[in-house]
Structures are given as structure tokens and as C-alpha cells.
């Protein structure tokens, strides 16, 4: 199974490169001019070709290296090789260190070139020297690459809880039963924590204790996932859950951590470099934890984690602009 690509080339036209999956190509050519047809072989698209295959160029057929400045007329004399009335079928192969051009079903090549560096040759380029050339290429079909699509619904949102959990509440962990993610105001902060359905209350970690909360919001949605991290490595797509108390407030994020066989949601405070979880009346700090992220948050960011910048540091760069060290 293949796709048939029809192309017309002129000397003044810009060339197009085509990717080939193997070490050979089958194609058809129709042309009546003295310039003949030219096929380029290269390792990269739209680059200088490593080799040029001249077909009936001034009645000669030959294979030329890009390093050779002029066409070598000591090739095969083929004055009747091409026709302007019908297509002629050719095959072109590049194996080991040999490039060969043949016609139709004849296994004997018209011309060959040895000692060629054909490793990584993956592209062909069609060209003309002096006249219009009609081509038909037999190329492998292009398989579409499946793309992940962002969900149009189900993005994380905080919903005020009344007598029961709202629809779409996000399960955040497990402690003898499913736990849900909540946030609640406390002493000037908005702090995330856990909701225990069997008790009908939420808990947040604060000042070394697990505090019970009834005034709370529940996180709902499906377009999010848990990402393992540690210390203060906060992904740019992390879900914001609230803020700390005081004048110099800090964003808090939704995290969860393992403890005594349970998975318990809590709060991530970057400056503390831990995730705090409420458990058995206490606030427990975990340096290794998971953080909740949403793919549609900061989707244009070039970096994967939030950068901790020191404006006083002097950065030394290599030529490719990668940082070597801080001075």
C-alpha cells in the first residue's frame, strides 16, 4: 500500500523534500528536454543534498556527490531514456555504500556509485536542470499522529459544600474510606485539607494540629492528575488551592502523601518545602509527595516547574545558552 504523489518541477521552482521510510524509491518520470531529471538524496529535509542522481542529463545518466563541483560526463550514455509522451518507471536504492538507479523491472542498474556514505539518508528531493519534468512518486502513506486533546469540561473548581458532597467531587485519597479535597478559611488564610464522609467534616493541618472544619469548599472536576514531586519543586500546572496567612501571603497547592498505609490530601506550602497532611489530630510534614496538576493551567509556559530566581546571581552560559553554574 502506498500513496501516489504527482509533482511537476521547473528549474525556477523551489524544491520540496519527501521523507522515505526505507532504502529505496520507485518513481515515474516524463520529460523531453536535454536537461533530464534530477533526484537528490539527503539526511535532512530542505538541506543541501548529499548526492544527486542525474537522469538523461545531456543524454548521460550518472550519480554525483555534493562535493563534486561539476557533472561527470563519464556516466552512462542514455539518449533515449526519457520520453515526453509517456512515463518511464525507475527504481533507486541506497544500501551499504552503494547507490543504484535502474529502469522498470530490470534488476541490472543503469548506473551505480560505490563508496557512498548513505547512512541516515531519509529524504529525496526532485529537481530539474533546464526543462519541465513530470513525476509520480510511490511513497508510504502518512499515518496521522494521535494528539491528546484537552478536556472541554471538568476543569477543577471549588464548590461550596452544604449538607452533602457536591456532584463531581474529586477523590483525593484513602483512609479506611475515600477522602475528598477541601479548603477552608482559617485565621486569614485559605487552607486546603481533607474531607471525611463518615464524619461529615473536613480537616486542615495548622500549627502542628489537625483542625476540624465545617465551613468549607470541595474541589470538583476531572481534568487533572497527580504528579510526584518533592521539597519546593512546584509544577507550573499545579492547581492553586489557597493562600497562607499574614501580610506576605504565599500560594498554597493541593498535595497528598502516603502515611501508615493511607493516602491523605493536604496542603503544599513551597517555602516550607513539604506537604502538610492532617492525621490523627496532628499536622504531619512530608518531603516526598504528589501534587495536583491541571494540563490547561499555564499551558504556554516553557519551563516545567516554577523557577526560584536569585536576581543577585551571575549566570555563566555556554555557546548554546545553557547555564553552566552560578557564580
Tens-place pLDDT, residues 64-116: 988 886 555 568 999 999 999 999 999 999 998 999 999 988 889 999 999 99
Q: Which residues of the chain have pLDDT under 50?
A: 311-327
Kindly list the domain boundaries of the chain, sorted by start residue: 3-139, 157-293
pLDDT of residue 12: 66
> How far, in Å, CA of 83 to CA of 148, rounded?
49
pLDDT of residue 31: 92
pLDDT of residue 49: 87
Tell me if 41 sits within 8 A of 49, measured CB to CB: yes
pLDDT of residue 46: 63
Q: What is the pLDDT of residues 25-59, one digit of tens each?
A: 999 999 987 888 999 999 887 667 889 999 998 89
pLDDT of residue 312: 47
The CATH number assigned to the domain with range 3-139 reads: 2.60.120.200
Strand partners, 94: 99
> How far, in Å, CA of 124 to CA of 55, rounded?
14
* Run of H or E including 166: none
> How far, in Å, CA of 52 to CA of 54, rounded?
6
- The three cell numbers of residue 239 are 492547581
Overall pTM > 0.75? no
Which of 107, 113, 114 minimizes the C-alpha distance to 91? 107
Measuring CA to CA, how many Å separate 63 from each of 49, 94, 101, 275, 299?
12, 12, 9, 66, 49
Amino acid at each position: 500500500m502506498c500513496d501516489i504523489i504527482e509533482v511537476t518541477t521547473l528549474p525556477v521552482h523551489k524544491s520540496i523534500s519527501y521523507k522515505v521510510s526505507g532504502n529505496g524509491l520507485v518513481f515515474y518520470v516524463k520529460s523531453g528536454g536535454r536537461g533530464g531529471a534530477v533526484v537528490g538524496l539527503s539526511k535532512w529535509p530542505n538541506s543541501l543534498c548529499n548526492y544527486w542522481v542525474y537522469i538523461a542529463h545531456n543524454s548521460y545518466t550518472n550519480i554525483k556527490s555534493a562535493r563534486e563541483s561539476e557533472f561527470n560526463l563519464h556516466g552512462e550514455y542514455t539518449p533515449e531514456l526519457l520520453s515526453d509522451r509517456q512515463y518511464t518507471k525507475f527504481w533507486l536504492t541506497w544500501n551499504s555504500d552503494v547507490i543504484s538507479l535502474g529502469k522498470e523491472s530490470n534488476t541490472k542498474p543503469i548506473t551505480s556509485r560505490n563508496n557512498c556514505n548513505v547512512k541516515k539518508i531519509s529524504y529525496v528531493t526532485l529537481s530539474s536542470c533546464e526543462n519541465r519534468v513530470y513525476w509520480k512518486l510511490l511513497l508510504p502513506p502518512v499515518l496521522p499522529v494521535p494528539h491528546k486533546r484537552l478536556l472541554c469540561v471538568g476543569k477543577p473548581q471549588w464548590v461550596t459544600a452544604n449538607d452533602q458532597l457536591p456532584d463531581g467531587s474529586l477523590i483525593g485519597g484513602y483512609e479506611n474510606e475515600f477522602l475528598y479535597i477541601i479548603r477552608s478559611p482559617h485565621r486569614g488564610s485559605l487552607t486546603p485539607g481533607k474531607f471525611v464522609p463518615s464524619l461529615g467534616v473536613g480537616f486542615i493541618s495548622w500549627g502542628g494540629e489537625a483542625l476540624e472544619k465545617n465551613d468549607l469548599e470541595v474541589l470538583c472536576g476531572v481534568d487533572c492528575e497527580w504528579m510526584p514531586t518533592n521539597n519546593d519543586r512546584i509544577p507550573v500546572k499545579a492547581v492553586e488551592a489557597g493562600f497562607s496567612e499574614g501580610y506576605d501571603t504565599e500560594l498554597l497547592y493541593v498535595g497528598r502523601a502516603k502515611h501508615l498505609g493511607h493516602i491523605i490530601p493536604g496542603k503544599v506550602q513551597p517555602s516550607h518545602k513539604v506537604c502538610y497532611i492532617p492525621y490523627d489530630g496532628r499536622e504531619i510534614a512530608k518531603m516526598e509527595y504528589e501534587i495536583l496538576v491541571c494540563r490547561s493551567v499555564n499551558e504556554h509556559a516553557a519551563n516545567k516547574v516554577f523557577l526560584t530566581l536569585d536576581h543577585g546571581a551571575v549566570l555563566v552560559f555556554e555557546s548554546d545558552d545553557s547555564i553552566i553554574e552560578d557564580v
